[in-house]
Amino acid sequence: MARMEQMVKFVARYALLILVVLWTLGPVIWMISLSLKPPTEWYSPNIIPQRPILDNYVSLFISTVPIGGTYFMTSIAEAITRPFINSLIIASLSTIFAVLIGFLAAYGVSRYRAGGTFTIFFTLLTRMIPGATFVAPLMVYYATLRLLDTYQALILLYTAVTLTYSIWILKGFIDEVPAEWEEAALLEGAHPWKVVTQVTIPLIKGGIAASALFIFILNWTEFLFALVISVTQVVTLPVQISMYASAVGRMYGPQAALGLIATIPMVIIGYVIQKHLITGFTFGRVR
């Protein structure tokens, strides 16, 4: 009877896995299908398009291409490059700042117990407040400072918000490096800065990479604040994507296409640093 039990367990395990995969990838699969469908099929339930077209993608780059043979409001199409660059600039800079400043702060917290025991916890607490609660005051804040629709506004905001995560993650990794390894280098005459750059950072390369990727994804996909703070100049990809389903018209096809394209940078970055992610997590300390 044990064999039967094992079979059941096996089937159950895989059934559960398949369910979870479907649940997670479901929307993505639907997006792919939508992006290849002509407007007539946008509301149909079939996953595989009956008449697959690439027009949705093309329309993102060329403004006067009819989609599926019918004309739609294509003036939105021109806006693809601008949002893409905006997102790139804002997300990248915010991530770099968050990781840089975060590392310094994390080092202070880890090695010198900066801020005592409560401060680090308090900063995490601030992340528990839903963004929606302070969107309005924040907008007024920026408006007064005449920072609406500027890069600075979003970069500042994103950096500040993701700093907490950056500090939290990096602190964990710095904790893993025995303080004695840094002390040994200090004893040997290395300047404290040198110790950090030559000893600590190389040892937590993976952690920094993981932290950066995580924060980059957060910044790249941020919607609420980007929507409120940007007007025309600084529109980011998520905002742009949302504009495809507006009062002007529902362009689900191009919307899905743009959504997919928007994920490309993250996939590229993830692929490039994956080696660091793995080697970073396995420290290799002898027992």
- Residue ranges in contact with another protein by CB under 8 A: 2, 178, 180-181, 183-190, 194, 199, 202-203, 283-287
Give the β-pairing of 249-250 and 245-246: antiparallel
Least Å from the CB of residue 11 to another protein: 18
Q: Looking at this protein, which amino acid is placed at residue 136?
A: A
Least Å from the CB of residue 1 to another protein: 12
How many Å apart are CA 65 and CA 62, to the nearest integer? 6
Output the six-digit token pair for 36.
């290849």
How many Å apart are CA 86 and CA 56, to the nearest integer? 22
**CA 120 remoteness from chain centre:** 23
Nearer to another protein, 7 or 28 (CB): 7
Using CA atoms, how far residue 9 sits from 2, 6, 14, 223, in Å, is 10, 5, 9, 42
Nearer to another protein, 187 or 247 (CB): 187
Nearer to another protein, 141 or 181 (CB): 181
Nearer to another protein, 149 or 175 (CB): 175
Nearer to another protein, 51 or 275 (CB): 275
Backbone angles phi, psi at 246, to 5 degrees: -125, -170
Least Å from the CB of residue 200 to another protein: 10
- Please name every residue paired with 67 in a beta bridge, in sequence order, or none if there are none: 70
Least Å from the CB of residue 182 to another protein: 9
Rounded to 5°, angle at Cα 243 from 238 and 248: 175
Least Å from the CB of residue 188 to another protein: 4
